Every structure is written in structure tokens, then in C-alpha cells.
Amino acid sequence: MFETSSQGNTQRNSAPLVSTSGLYRWVSALFAFLIWGGWAYYANGAAAENQRLASTFVQGIASLFITLFMVHAVTWLYRRIQVPYFRLVLPAVLTLSFTGSSLFTIHHFVGTPNIFYTITPALSVAFAFCLFTTYKLRKHGRERKEPDRE
């Protein structure tokens, strides 16, 4: 299922992970901070103001870093998984498992009252984005005539 080559980098693994500009990545990350931080403030509306602000800050900062990290993680996993059907879904599942459990843990420690409602929308969008990323990687690999091992 995973690549077991001891040669190190193959041509597929030596290609750049993602060809997006730094400006695009940071603008996307800032939007994630604003959107999901704002959502956290709304989702915890019945809580005390200090809890709402802590939840907002945690969700915003986490969303910023998750946005920067996610494409790289999905790409890295995609290039190492060799079973075609797992290759499309498993990178998204593994990436979201890590980010979701991290979000849950951080929100638990800061005392977010509505953790489920705080993180579910962001994780749902992130999962769809991860699936889209694996689809684009597959399409890009086919255009470059790389084997998809199907």
C-alpha cells in the first residue's frame, strides 16, 4: 500500500509538492483564520465572553496553520500510497484525522463549550478540499503520463 523503495526520491517524489504562490497560500490562510474564527465566535454564542474569545482565537490560529499544512500533507501521503482506491481517499482521511483530533484536543484544553459545533463545519470543508486535492494530483499525474497503478 505504501511505497517501499529504498532508493530515496523517485521522480514522482522529487517534483515540487504544490505550485502555488506564497501570496495565494497566505491569503487563503488569513481567510481561514477570519471565517472559521468568526464561526467559532458564533457557535459559542451562549458562553461567557472570555470563553468565546479563546475559542475564536484557537480556531482561527489553528485554521490558519491547518490551511498552510493540509495541501503538503495530502500531497506527501498521495505520493507514497500505491493502492489506487486508497490513494484517492486515504490522504484526506489521515490528514483530517490528525487535524480533527488536534483541534478537538486544543479546544478541550481551552474550555470551548461547543467543540462539535465549532470544528465540524471547518473539518467538513477541509475534507472536501483534501479530496479535491487528491483528484487534482491524480489528474496532474495522468497528464504527465505518470502511472496511477490502476
Q: Which residue has the higher pLDDT, 9 or 51?
A: 51
pLDDT at 5 over 80: no
For 93-149, how does the pLDDT look when each residue is reduced to its tens digit (9 = 90+)?
999 999 999 999 999 999 999 999 999 999 999 999 999 989 888 887 665 555 555
List the domain boundaries for the chain: 21-143
| Bridge partners of residue 2, in order along the sequence | 81
Mean pLDDT of 8-24: 55
**b/e per residue, 134-143, with b = 16+ CB within 10 A?**
beebbeebee
Residue in this structure with the C-alpha cell 459545533, named with its chain if needed: 117
Residue 126 cell numbers, joined: 477541509
Q: Counting Cβ atoms within 10 Å, is residue 40 exposed (0-12), middle (13-18) or buried (19+)?
A: buried
Query: Rounded to whole angstroms, how far apart are CA atoms 70 and 26?
Result: 13
The whole model's pTM is what?
0.76
